[in-house]
Structures are given as C-alpha cells and as structure tokens.
Amino acid sequence: MTDAPTGREERFFALVLPALERAGYTAYGAQAKLVADTGMNKTTVSRLLRGETIPHVKSFPALARALGLDPVELLVAAEIVPPEYLESQQTLSETDRSQVGSGSITPEEAAEQLGIHDDVGKFTFYAVVDKLTNRDDADDATPGDATAQA
C-alpha cells in the first residue's frame, strides 16, 4: 500500500502531469520516449507517470526541457527552492529585458543578484546552471564553475 501524497507531491504532480499529457508522454508506448528524452530510468519514469514519485533533482533540467517548463518551476513545485526564486526570475525577465544578454556573469553573481544566499539554494542553482549550459565536462566540474548569461 502506498502512502498518501504530501502537499509537496500534490503541487509537483499538479504541474507535471498535465504537462506530460500536453507533451504526449501519457499516450500508450510513450514511456520509452520520455526515458530517452530525459535520461531517467524506466522505473522512475513509470512512477512519475503514475504520480507516485518525484524524480531526483538532477533530472529536472531534462524533464523541464521535455515538458516545455522552466526548471525553476519544477524546483519550486517540489519545494526544493522557495517560491521567491521563481518570482525573482519572473521579475528579472519582465522588468530588465534590456539587460538580458548584455554580458556574461558567473553563476555566483547571478545567485547574488537573484537573492539566493543559502548554501542549499546556491548549490541547487549552480547545479541547474551547469546542467543547462550543457557543458561537456559538467561531470568533472564543481557546481558554480560555468559562466551564465544574465
């Protein structure tokens, strides 16, 4: 018998399950495509599609890309980072459009500008930046080594 879903799981699946359906991953035989598109294993994908388990955070960038979602939305829905991170990101994109792409900054500078000050939040942010920059040597580097675009 499985445990009842927590509020965290309910929020995560309320975001992810409709996105999975919109992206066509709930159709018969689509599980293998989701495995291929995200790199998650079959068991994790099966449990995700049944709304049983939130996957590991390292899968969030690929899952977000496959579903057409913002990885930060997944982090917020899974309560890995507080909602203020998403609000900070939206505020930046809505009010400082003229500065987007104006130069490179480090992930550390980006975290500071976004108001991410706690160690867990910084580590998670750096890991997402590293994953999203698709660096070939990402497995060998420590989070925070990459240069991010602001």
pLDDT tens for each residue of 66-114: 999 988 899 999 998 888 776 666 555 555 544 555 568 888 888 888 8
Mean pLDDT, rounded, of the chain: 80
Instruction: Kindly report the pTM of this predicted structure.
Output: 0.58
Residue 57 has pLDDT above 80, yes or no: yes
State the pLDDT at residue 139: 46
Q: What does the pLDDT read at residue 121?
A: 84
DSSP H or E segment with residue 113:
helix 107-114
The CATH classification number of 7-77 equals: 1.10.260.40
List every span in the chain annotated with CATH 1.10.260.40.
Answer: 7-77
Give pLDDT, residue 19: 96
What does the alpha-carbon distance between residue 38 and residue 92 come to, in Å, rounded to a whole number?
28
Interacting residues of 34 by C-beta distance below 8 A, sequence separation 6+: 20, 25, 40, 45, 48, 49, 66
Dihedral of CA atoms 78, 82, 85, 88 in degrees, nearest 10, equals 130
Among positive and negative, which fits the CA dihedral 141, 57, 76, 102?
A: positive
